[in-house]
Amino acid sequence: MQMEAKQGWLASRVPGLGCACGLMREARPPGQPWFNALPVLLGVLLAVLLASGAVVTVYYNPWHAYDSLQGIAREVRGGWVVLGYHQIGASLAFALLYLHLFRTLLTGGYRAPAEFAWMLWVKLLAVLLLTGWLGFVLNGGAGGYWSLMNAGNAAVRLNGFPGAVAMWFLGGPPGGSTFARLLVLHVLLALCAVLVIWMACAAAKKARPMPQGRAVPFWPVYASQYFAALAALALVFALLLGFAPHWGLGGQNAIPAGDMAVPVAISYPWYLTPAAGLAGAFHGVAGHIWAVIAAALLLYALPWLDRSRRHRPGRLYRAFIWLLGLDVLALGVVTAFPMGSLLPALFTFWFFFHFLVLTPLVTMLEAV
């Protein structure tokens, strides 16, 4: 009784505390699946990324990017662990976000009234992709450096407003101070990602219907579920950190950047490969940029491309979502291990075909 009075006293004065206490007492419908913990796990990973990123930034030198990271791994006490946290945290954050987006597609979780939450999750993907690319470049390895060179050359060639934005972003052709600029953007975008995930969770909560019938409290029912999910995530994290710290990160960044080390094809970290494949399937600078923007816009517009009025998608639609998931996976694979230009074009075509033709058609059929 006295405890609750104290909590009330604090909660009425400290902003955010009432929210946290409310979360603990909040009633939810029973029997929610494990997948509902994904946003919370994603938030925890973002916190890990911010904390490890703060340590790395302290020792990072934009003018000697590769050497300073080597210094962190070799000279800073525990530096190699912190670098590992950052690399594997990024990898797992993308894995969870892709999984969450796929599941939202599969369950029709983007449909009314959750359109706004869906758009924020897509925005989080866009922000994280850009942050991830900046991190890839900031490594100072050969792969990231030549990716930056391509971006810089593209920026120089663009005219008008897009050119002005690109020049502002990169500060002209790549040089020493470009990395300092990109570091600031990397940190700013990471903070933006925290804001976006918070807004997405708030929007998703607003879209969730009030529990009908029996409700269970968050503590201890869902707290125990989230804790178990977190423990499993930590297990995967430890496995990767201990035994596969460089898995899927593209080997080229182990080579220091330099004009003598020119990759035949840039090997991106696995989480950038679908976007890179999508961009690479179109010709010219404008083609690369518009392809990615168009893909993002299609994802944004999905709640309106979907003509169904039911909440749960039908069997045919779900089969096509599975196909889309495999398509994006395959696009990433053929980008990581190039095998001609036909397959990326085919998979990119299917991506656009799915959203522009199949989605309206199939959902209209199922709505009948």
Partner 1 sequence: MMRRFFAPLLAAGLLAGVAAHAEDTLSPLRFQSSGAFGSIDLAAAQRGFAVYQGACASCHGMNGLHYRDLEALGLTPEQVAGIAGSVKLADGSAATPDSRFKQPALVNMGGAVPPDLSTIVAQRPGGTRYIYDFLTGFGPAPAGMKLLPGHNYNAAFPGGQVSMPAVLRDNAVTYADGTKATTAQEAADVAEFLTWASEPNLSARHAVGLRAVIFFAFLTIVAVLTKRRIWRQEG
Could you list the residues that contact partner 1 (CB under 8 A)? 30-31, 67, 70, 73-74, 80-81, 84, 216, 220-221, 224-225, 227-228, 230-232, 234-235, 237-239, 241-243, 245-246, 251, 254-256, 260
Return d(Cα 176, Cα 195) in angstroms, integer: 30
22-51: b (≥16 Cβ within 10 Å) or e: eeeeeebeeeeeeebbbbbbbbbbbebbbe
Least distance from C-beta 306 to partner 1, angstroms?
A: 32
Beta carbon of residue 217, minimum distance to partner 1 (angstroms, whole number): 8
Complex with partner 1: residue 17 or 215, whichever CB lies closer: 215
CB of 218 to partner 1, least distance (A): 11
- Rounded distance between C-alpha atoms, residue 293 and residue 290, angstroms: 5
Closest CB 97 distance from partner 1, rounded Å: 22
Nearer to partner 1, 87 or 131 (CB): 87
CB 71, min distance to partner 1, A: 8
Contact 72, 83 (CB under 8 A): yes
Task: Note if the bond before 15 is cis, omega within 30 degrees.
Answer: no
Nearer to partner 1, 207 or 255 (CB): 255
Q: Measured between alpha carbons, how far is 2 from 339 in angstroms, rounded to an integer?
A: 69
DSSP for residue 216: E
Beta carbon of residue 143, minimum distance to partner 1 (angstroms, whole number): 11
Whichever of 185 and 230 has its CB closer to partner 1, that residue is 230
Beta-bridged to residue 256, according to DSSP, are 141
Residue 34 or 168: which CB sits closer to partner 1? 34
b/e per residue 292-323 (b: at least 16 CB within 10 A): bebbbebbbbbbebbebeeeebeeebbebbee
CA 216 from chain centre, in angstroms, equals 31
Q: Is the Cβ of residue 64 or residue 318 nearer to partner 1 in the bound state?
A: 64
